[in-house]
Chains A and B, each alone.
Chain A
Amino acid sequence: MKPGIDAIQDEIIEEFSMFDEWMEKYEYIIDMGKSLPAIAAEYKDEDHEIKGCQSKVWLHAALNGERVEFTADSDAVITKGIIGLLVRVLSGQPASEIVNANLYFIDKIGLKEHLSPNRSNGLASMVKQMKMYGYVFDGKIKSENV
């Protein structure tokens, strides 16, 4: 059974608390990107691109029962690491919980304050897009259960 959204967030906060240096954080984020499950090549197209980032980000979502599985990729490794963190937290979670997730870990690990507005716009777009999928799938599940 996959831990819940907050449990994973706390796990990540715990992991980041070991780093004093931004370099270590970045290395960790880059590694997170490397371990991100690959997105199918067919989804690396304009339809799956998230706008608002300087680098390209592709995101795919599929419903598996009541849970949403995300896969993602980016052509920049730091961005890939950031979306990797989001995938780690949100992928495999129930659609209804994704919609309402409070992603406090972003602030806690210093991602928001350490990324300039430009780039956090990219981050904000990623979160928005993932929640949008959650919203759409949640609606679909509910309408099928009526």
Chain B
Amino acid sequence: MIEPAEIVKRAFDIRQIRTDFPILNTTMNGKPLVFLDSAASSQKPLAVIDAMDEYYKTGHANVHRGVYQLSQKATDQFEQSRRTVQHFLNAEHDHEIIFVRGTTEGINLVASSYGDKFVRKGDEIIVSGLEHHSNIVPWLMLCERKGAVLKVIPVLDNGELDMNVYAQLLNEKVQIVAVNHISNALGTINPVEKIIGMAHEHGIPVLIDGAQATPHMEVDVQALDADFYVFSGHKVFGPTGIGILYGKEKWLNEMPPYQGGGEMISRVSFEKTTYNELPFKFEAGTPDIAGVIGLGAAIEYLQGIDMEAVRDYEHQLLIYATEQLSQIDGIRFIGTAAEKASVVSFLIDGLHPYDVGAILDKLGIAVRTGHHCAQPLMDRFGIPGTVRASMAFYNTFEEINALVNGVKKAIDLLK
């Protein structure tokens, strides 16, 4: 594992970065691939591909079980990744890092385990109008099970949260607040530090859905004082099928296990089972070992880049894309928050997002169209969906030009 102090940051060099991601040199529909859908899932650097490849070729055995050297080695690598994630989030303890399948499973775990223990009939849970379905549905299911009530922080016209209403929603019946750090549909960066601080004044814990934040910014769960923080490996340039739930030790200790099975128990008889300690209590069954190792490699890769330069570069991309696109007649941006990640969501007057996306596809440009798993948010704006271009640090200004020209071409063809 690389200790934070040892990390030598590479200067940010876009040409170098692009050679790290083999897929960026491929074509789609016979055109050079312009990949502008990293918010859905980001591409993988060689470092990740190689780490997983190497593990399967020379390092595979089940973890935490074998007495033999190969299993020991796999276990060491697995646990090293946990510490890499710990440093990535600046968590106090490595056992506060739980490996899950992704953001969705992390939220479901908390809704189920925390919810079972702490939520009762008539209690309230707060989410926001900006949430992805995976940060709405598990809470709705919990509310149904328990007879609790879901409260929603409204979204303002510019895509920011209405913090005044949020303040009014906080009361002693609220058992948890769950909001995203950055909106996947609009790119709004939410004031999570403030959201957490206000909830804590009422003694309410907060879960932050960091799926869209972790690829773009440094996150410090202790500085934020987040109670739970979740993200997906595949959005931070790591593999699919692996994700992280960070939880403060005191909550994780109080919560019952999520799933039963091997690894999560310390002793089983048919009369009684004693649960294992953290983090194993929440990691029943053989984990996604290759995924964990790939995620570790992805984070080490990120730690090797100057994230401040990344943020700056992505911000330039966002400003450039917004400027260039705004010159197109009939374009309407959805989400114009003051603090935004590199996501541009838009509609073209009179055109269906699907049609625009289908033409862009033919031009080799990958964007997302539709409701972005945030239907309540689309309803809020009275639209069926948007075209969303989301950028990562491997995108270029030339690719933005390709997008702008592509949209113009789509308009010509469709109108």
Question: Which residues from chain A sit less than 8 Å from chain B, CB to CB?
Answer: 22-23, 26-27, 30, 54-56, 75-79, 114-116, 119
Contact = CB atoms under 8 A, between A and B. Distances in A.
Contact of A54 (B354, B359, B413): B354
A30 B410 CA distance: 12
A76 B358 CA distance: 10
Contacts of B354: 54-55, 76, 78-79, 119
A54 B361 CA distance: 15
A23 B413 contact: yes
Contacts of B358: 26, 78, 115, 119
Contact of A55 (B29, B352, B359, B413): B352
Contacts of B353: 54
A26 B358 CA distance: 10
B216 to A, nearest CB: 26
Given A55-B352, A114-B362, 11 more contacts: A23-B413, A30-B413, A30-B414, A54-B353, A54-B370, A56-B384, A78-B358, A78-B414, A116-B361, A119-B354, A119-B358
A102 B362 CA distance: 27
A137 to B, nearest CB: 30
Main secondary structure of the interface of A (DSSP, over half): helix
Contacts of B362: 22-23, 26, 114
Interface of B: 29, 351-355, 358-359, 361-362, 369-370, 384-385, 413-414
29 contacts: A22-B29, A23-B362, A23-B413, A26-B358, A26-B413, A30-B413, A30-B414, A54-B353, A54-B354, A54-B369, A54-B370, A55-B352, A55-B354, A55-B384, A56-B384, A75-B352, A75-B384, A76-B354, A76-B355, A77-B351, A77-B352, A78-B354, A78-B355, A78-B358, A79-B352, A79-B355, A114-B29, A114-B362, A119-B358
Contacts of B29: 22, 114
A77 B355 contact: yes
B361 to A, nearest CB: 7
A30 B370 CA distance: 20
B352 A26 contact: no
A102 B355 CA distance: 27
Contacts of A54: 353-354, 369-370, 385
A119 B353 CA distance: 13
B29 to A, nearest CB: 8
Contacts of A26: 358-359, 362, 413
A54 B351 CA distance: 14
Contacts of A76: 352, 354-355
A50 to B, nearest CB: 14
A79 B353 CA distance: 12
Contacts of A22: 29, 362
Contacts of A23: 362, 413
Contacts of A119: 354, 358
A30 B415 CA distance: 10
